[in-house]
Structure 1
Amino acid sequence: MTELDQFITGLPKAELHLHIEGSLEPELMFALAERNGIDIPYASVEEVRAAYEFSNLQDFLDIYYAGAGVLQTRADFHDLAAAYFKRAAADGVVHAELMFDPQTHTDRGIAFEEVIEGLLSAMAEAEATHGITSRLILCFLRHLSEEAAFETLAMAEPWIDRITAVGLDSSEVGHPPVKFAQVFAAARAKGLKITAHAGEEGPPDYVYQALDQLKTDRIDHGNRSLEDPELTRRLADLGMTLTVCPLSNLKLCVVDDLKDHPTDAMLTHGLKATLNSDDPAYFGGYVGDNFKAVTEARGLSKADLVTLARNSFTGAFLPPDMIASYVERLDAYAAAHC
């Protein structure tokens, strides 16, 4: 491990864009399939990994939803999240905001309670074991209807005080943010923060819609914002956090090569970019791998890395005192190692 790799590993950081179902490693998929007596269309771990070759977002989603079928009980969801937190701790993550897709599970007969209670128990365990704080982001699947999203928000009501935000994910093209304006307004009225995937495969207009129609507190991805100078300036002026996912962008062909990734261009334009892993089991790396890969490809400096980590804390859905505490911890690390 190089000195810079060691610096990245030790760098205190938050992960703000992580789909917990997307952290389902093939080994755990097989273990849960056996535990729950479920047949899966793969004969081996190697065969699953060979299937992880995508040409676009939809190809990925097809495998993603099939893999989620092994998740049946709260113990499964606990084990899924616990495995993620163990990896996150090794990468220097001290705070994580987990996106989860309840419709992926409730639509196949799994009770909302099984999903959220399993995740919450793993989150409590992670804080006790690894010192990682965490929050939950309930995501609506944008290829489904707004009516279905309202039904999911109603299911979440008994746990609303343990959910921090709502998000919007799944197939972006053809499903503009404005489609969900009313359910996001209802979520905001409940005190929930707002985030949404926009500007990954979808056009800059989707980012405008996320800002103006959903009134987002964060933008997930946002790469294509750079195609519109006015939008880029607006995001910079707002101090809007972008949860960028380099290895995901590479795997889904948003960029052809990490040497073309816009991480440092975002920083140059004053955008509040962060680095995250998205669906790490499918995209070839957790948050530390994303930091290391884009650093090598784009020649990021330690100062750039500290800025990215600072953005992850100031962009977190946390109270000001917790943010200040994490930033102080980061500054101490930077002072000792830069």
Structure 2
Amino acid sequence: MDEFIAGLPKCELHLHIEGTLEPELKFELARRNGIELPYRSAEEARAAYVFDSLTSFLVGYYASMDVLRTEPDFYDLATAYLVKAAAQNVRYAEIFFDPQAHTSRGVPFDLVIRGLRRAILDAERREGIRAQLIMCFLRDSEAGFAMATLLESLPYREWIAGVGLDSDERGNPPVKFERVFARAREEGYLLTMHCDVDQENTTEHIRQCLDVIGVDRIDHGVNALDDPALVDKARERGIGFTVCPVSNGFVTDGPKAEVVRRMLDLGLRVTINSDDPAYFEAYVAENLQLVRDELGLTRDELARLERNAFEIAWLPPAIRDGYLAELAEYTATAP
């Protein structure tokens, strides 16, 4: 089964590029940029990744980004992830990036996106992995800052597939950004939003995503299962859910693997993703292995998770059909 998972053509839809900053690369970028880190080694830095909630995780997460200063830094960051993902047979990825976390500390938007874009183009040519960018807004910042970032992104519209919403959800409901997302939709962006696991007012936030914002999919969103009306609405609209089991185990009371089974049984388009793999020490293959082990998933069920991902990916139909055909062939012929 491990060999089957290793060879399975994969699609990753919930991946924060800043969350792929491995300690070894962090030290290299700190050296390059003349930054002194509060750790003596990469191993010591990794050992400091201790958190038990979304809030405690975000504190260290944003502090680590300080080593990202130049276009080559962002190029190296994205290249490292794409090479790793390609080695796990990720065929296509949609990558979140948080421009506000960089522009707020003086790093120009243009520099960030050019580094990421160049890495995507080079990885497709060298590794055969295709990727697109999703620009996320920080929900614990003001909506006006998000709108300004949206306007700043418009000259790069062809490089960005859609927009999302992440960071601390407490007291920051989707409707806070209603005007921003309405403008993004007008500009042709596709829409997604984080609805993190077991947050305050979580089912109301999911309802706002569906009824007010009109998202194309939901990141995390497992608490939709708490409300049968939300389940029915999501299923009718074909809304996808990008679930991240290993990260759930770090910031909540467990990986929530059982919700994957329930979502599959209810006919929801659930997918498996890695979220911030440098912090949780698990990329997409390890997340698939976890739910396989927890739920005893069959080959067909594992393939269904990847089929869900390719079906809800923001891809042209012809390219999507090619990936689905590749997945079907592998499932039928894998030993």
Band of TM-score, shorter chain:
over 0.9
CA distance in 1, matches of 2:38, 2:182: 40
* Partner in structure 2 of residue 65 of structure 1: 62
* Partner in structure 1 of residue 242 of structure 2: 243
Does structure 1 residue 149 correspond to structure 2 residue 140?
A: no
CA distance in 2, matches of 1:201, 1:31: 36
CA distance in 1, matches of 2:251, 2:105: 27
The 8 Å contact of residues 172 and 201 in structure 1, kept in 2 or not, is answered as: no
Alpha carbons of structure 1 residues 149 and 12: separation in structure 2 relative to 1, 3 Å: same
Secondary structure class of the residue paired with 1:140: strand
Matches within 5 A, 1:189-208: 189-202=186-199, 203-208=202-207
Does structure 1 residue 48 correspond to structure 2 residue 45?
A: yes
The 8 Å contact of residues 235 and 267 in structure 2, kept in 1 or not, is answered as: yes
CA distance in 1, matches of 2:255, 2:101: 31
The one of 118, 136, 153 equivalent to 1:121 is 118
Percent identity over paired residues: 48
CA distance in 2, matches of 1:85, 1:63: 23
Matches within 5 A, 1:40-189: 40-189=37-186
Structure 1 length-normalised TM = 0.96
Q: Cα distance, 1:199 vs. partner?
A: 4.4
Secondary structure class of the residue paired with 2:235: helix
Q: Cα distance, 1:256 vs. partner?
A: 2.5
The 8 Å contact of residues 196 and 216 in structure 1, kept in 2 or not, is answered as: yes
Aligned AA (1:239): G
Q: List per-residue Cα deviations over 1:76-104 (Å, max 9, x = no partner).
A: 00000000011101111000101000000
Q: Cα distance, 1:44 vs. partner?
A: 1.9
Q: List per-residue Cα deviations over 1:137-188 (Å, max 9, x = no partner).
A: 0000000011000111111121011111000000012110000000000000
* Partner in structure 2 of residue 210 of structure 1: 209
Unaligned runs of 5+ in 2: none
Matches within 5 A, 1:16-31: 16-31=13-28
Deviates most, 204-213 or 101-110: 204-213
Does structure 1 residue 286 correspond to structure 2 residue 298?
A: no
Structure 2 length-normalised TM = 0.97
Q: List per-residue Cα deviations over 1:171-216 (Å, max 9, x = no partner).
A: 0121100000000000000000000001424311111111122110
The 8 Å contact of residues 12 and 92 in structure 2, kept in 1 or not, is answered as: yes
The 8 Å contact of residues 199 and 207 in structure 1, kept in 2 or not, is answered as: no
The 8 Å contact of residues 280 and 286 in structure 1, kept in 2 or not, is answered as: yes
Q: List per-residue Cα deviations over 1:228-279 (Å, max 9, x = no partner).
A: 11111211121111001000111112x4256x53111110011100000000
* Partner in structure 1 of residue 31 of structure 2: 34
Secondary structure class of the residue paired with 1:251: helix
Aligned AA (2:111): E
* Partner in structure 1 of residue 229 of structure 2: 230
Does structure 1 residue 315 correspond to structure 2 residue 312?
A: yes
Matches within 5 A, 1:252-263: 252-253=251-252, 255-256=253-254, 261-263=258-260
Q: List per-residue Cα deviations over 1:108-138 (Å, max 9, x = no partner).
A: 0000011000000000011001111111100
Aligned AA (2:251): L
The 8 Å contact of residues 248 and 255 in structure 2, kept in 1 or not, is answered as: no
* Partner in structure 1 of residue 297 of structure 2: 300
CA distance in 2, matches of 1:236, 1:257: 23
CA distance in 1, matches of 2:93, 2:255: 27
Unaligned runs of 5+ in 1: none
CA distance in 2, matches of 1:332, 1:243: 24
CA distance in 2, matches of 1:294, 1:197: 21
The 8 Å contact of residues 246 and 275 in structure 1, kept in 2 or not, is answered as: yes
The 8 Å contact of residues 247 and 255 in structure 2, kept in 1 or not, is answered as: no
Query: In angstroms, what is the RMSD of aligned CA positions?
Result: 1.1
Aligned AA (2:181): F
Q: Cα distance, 1:40 vs. partner?
A: 2.0
Q: List per-residue Cα deviations over 1:57-84 (Å, max 9, x = no partner).
A: 0111001101000000010000000000
